[in-house]
Structure 1
Amino acid sequence: MAANETTPVTAGTRRRLDLVGDCAACHGLCCVALPFAASADFAHSKDAGHPCPRLGADSRCGIHANLRGSGYAGCAVFDCFGAGQRISQHTFGGRSWRDDPGTARLMFAVFPVQRQLHELLWYLTQAEELPAARPLRPALNEALAATERLAAAEAETLLGLDVAAHRAEVNTLLLRASELARAGQPAQRRYARGADLVGARLRRADLRGANLRGALLIAADLRQADLGLADLIGADLRDADLRGARLAGALFVTRPQLDAARGDADTTIPDGLARPAHWTGGSRPRPRRGR
């Protein structure tokens, strides 16, 4: 992914670009290390540690250009946040899991840990750039540096890391940043963390500043809803209808969330994220980022 030409290339933007999966620099780890079960998201089942039959000898997906049409929507929405190339090129110094069984086992075990660390780096980078979170900037910088040190560690160190404890510590800081950013917003609708909003009718809803952390928004109707400064960390947006919705300014949005949802040219998205290729055209021209 490249930064939008109209987006200033700040230090945070450069850091986010490093946190996007680069398949050309990876050994196809997500296609081997992770398991998946035959479902609407995957055309067949695969055990962890076994290569997907669609993976070529060059470690590239043979159907990458048509994942959805081939029955692999789950692959289309996956993002390692740059963990794959970090492990392939740095943690293991360019060695592939094909080199020897010992390398493969360790690499596959480390991959989920590294992905969690890179996801935290993505969130911390966004939090650091929030103007309202300026009082937390020293703590956010410290958390960023600590997470980066962990991500740069040797494979054995990563394997012994209590990543759940680190996530909990970082999440406390992210929640404080979110509260500062959302302060003063209408938030006319109040939701508990992990709210069940499956199929909810929220068309044209004013959700500015809403806390939607972990919310189940599967197949929710969010057409033309205003999600400015809404906290969407961990929200499940699979098949959510975001046509005409305002996501510009929403907090902690990720590429997999956008890819899992349905949107159009009228949907505004946060800076630093690419518009999914499968989104449809809109009813009228609007800025592609922000408004």
Structure 2
Amino acid sequence: MASQDAVPSPGDRQDHPDRQDRQDRQDHPDLQADCAACFGLCCMALPFARSADFAVSKPAGQPCSNLRTDFRCGIHERLRDRGYAGCTVFDCFGAGQKVSQVTFAGTDWRAAPETARAMTEVFPVVRQLHELLRYITEALGLALARPVHQELRRARDRIDGLTRGSAASIVELDVNALRGEVNVLLLRAGELARAHVPGPRKNHRGADLVGAKLSGAGLRGASLRGALLVAADLSGADLRDADLIGADLRDADLSGADLTGALFLTQAQLNAARGDAATVLPPVLSRPAHW
């Protein structure tokens, strides 16, 4: 049964403590994919296996057969129809253009084949670093998380500096250790940002909720960090201010759900889920075309 506050009033949406900060956090083009400035690295460097997400298998370092000579995808508008749904839920968070234009100074792997192996190794690392930068940037846009802003800024500056190092220095990074350090700060930021939510807040951190029946559930301010929500029924659920960092939303039903103020929600997560015109999204995210 839905909680009494499952449908927010117009006042709730207008007076959210972090509303303006969250709207401002989208002005970071360096953390958004710019395919025109990238050498098609996601289509070359990353491997994928034949599955429901990919029509064929491809090893790391081998260009996808759909990659054109201009580094654009030849079936971009038909990816789902052609069996490449996995491509539609991937986001490099701007790592593609960073590696292409900064690490390798605009020299592409086709013009200089000897760089292909290094790009294949560097791109996945920078992609993880940019994902951390994306979360840190969001946390810095949360007014209620101000007590950890100074530490977050230091982490941001450090990681940004690492992304600008040499190819050799990047592949030697211990990304898992960095993730562990940053996660402590993001966890605290999430807790501070959710502290204003009235009443008890549910904790489903890391929970196995695959296929769970959560239609109309009152999950406002809940922690769903890293939760497995594959094919879960979240239709009509109240997910306002819920912490969704790392939550697996593949094929989850978000029809009519309210995601106002959801924390650390990415476009890739939405693209992997199902929703409809009644799904309420944060203003910085877009309604997927396939909904």
Instruction: Indicate whether the TM-score tops 0.5.
Output: yes
Contact (CA 8 Å) 1:81, 1:118: kept in 2 or not? Answer: yes
Q: Structure 1: 5+ residue runs without aligned partners?
A: 1-6, 280-291
Q: What does the per-residue CA deviation read over 1:187-207, in whole Å, with 9 as the maximum and x for residues that have no partner?
A: 45332x320101111111110
Q: Structure 2: 5+ residue runs without aligned partners?
A: 1-19
Deviation at residue 184 of structure 1 after TM alignment = 4.4
> Which residue in 1 is equivalent to 2:139?
127
Greater relative CO, 1 or 2 (CA 8 Å, sep 6+): 2
Distance 2:183 2:202 in 1: 23
Percent of aligned pairs sharing the same letter: 61
Change (3 A) 1:267 1:10: closer
Equivalent residue runs for 1:214-225 within 5 Å: 214-225=226-237
> Which residue in 2 is equivalent to 1:140?
152
Distance 1:71 1:116 in 2: 26
> Which residue in 2 is equivalent to 1:90?
102
Change (3 A) 1:8 1:196: closer
Equivalent residue runs for 1:94-105 within 5 Å: 94-105=106-117
Distance 1:84 1:228 in 2: 32
> Which residue in 1 is equivalent to 2:15?
none
> Which residue in 2 is equivalent to 1:45?
57
> Which residue in 1 is equivalent to 2:8?
none
- The TM-score with structure 2 as length reference comes to 0.89
Equivalent residue runs for 1:233-248 within 5 Å: 233-248=245-260
Deviation at residue 18 of structure 1 after TM alignment = 2.3
Contact (CA 8 Å) 1:187, 1:208: kept in 2 or not? Answer: no
Equivalent of residue 181 in structure 2, options 142, 165, 169: 169
Distance 2:35 2:160 in 1: 21
- The TM-score with structure 1 as length reference comes to 0.89
Deviation at residue 10 of structure 1 after TM alignment = 7.1
> Which residue in 2 is equivalent to 1:285?
none
Secondary structure of 2:133's counterpart equals helix
Distance 1:13 1:255 in 2: 12
> Which residue in 2 is equivalent to 1:14?
27
Contact (CA 8 Å) 2:21, 2:142: kept in 1 or not? Answer: no
User: Do residues 189 (structure 1) and 206 (structure 2) align?
Assistant: no
Aligned residues: 271
Distance 1:30 1:255 in 2: 17
Deviation at residue 101 of structure 1 after TM alignment = 3.4
One-letter identity of the residue aligned with 1:56: R
Q: Report the aligned-residue RMSD.
A: 1.6
Distance 1:155 1:271 in 2: 36
Distance 1:121 1:65 in 2: 29
Contact (CA 8 Å) 1:187, 1:206: kept in 2 or not? Answer: no
> Which residue in 2 is equivalent to 1:200?
212
Contact (CA 8 Å) 1:25, 1:85: kept in 2 or not? Answer: yes
Contact (CA 8 Å) 1:187, 1:207: kept in 2 or not? Answer: no
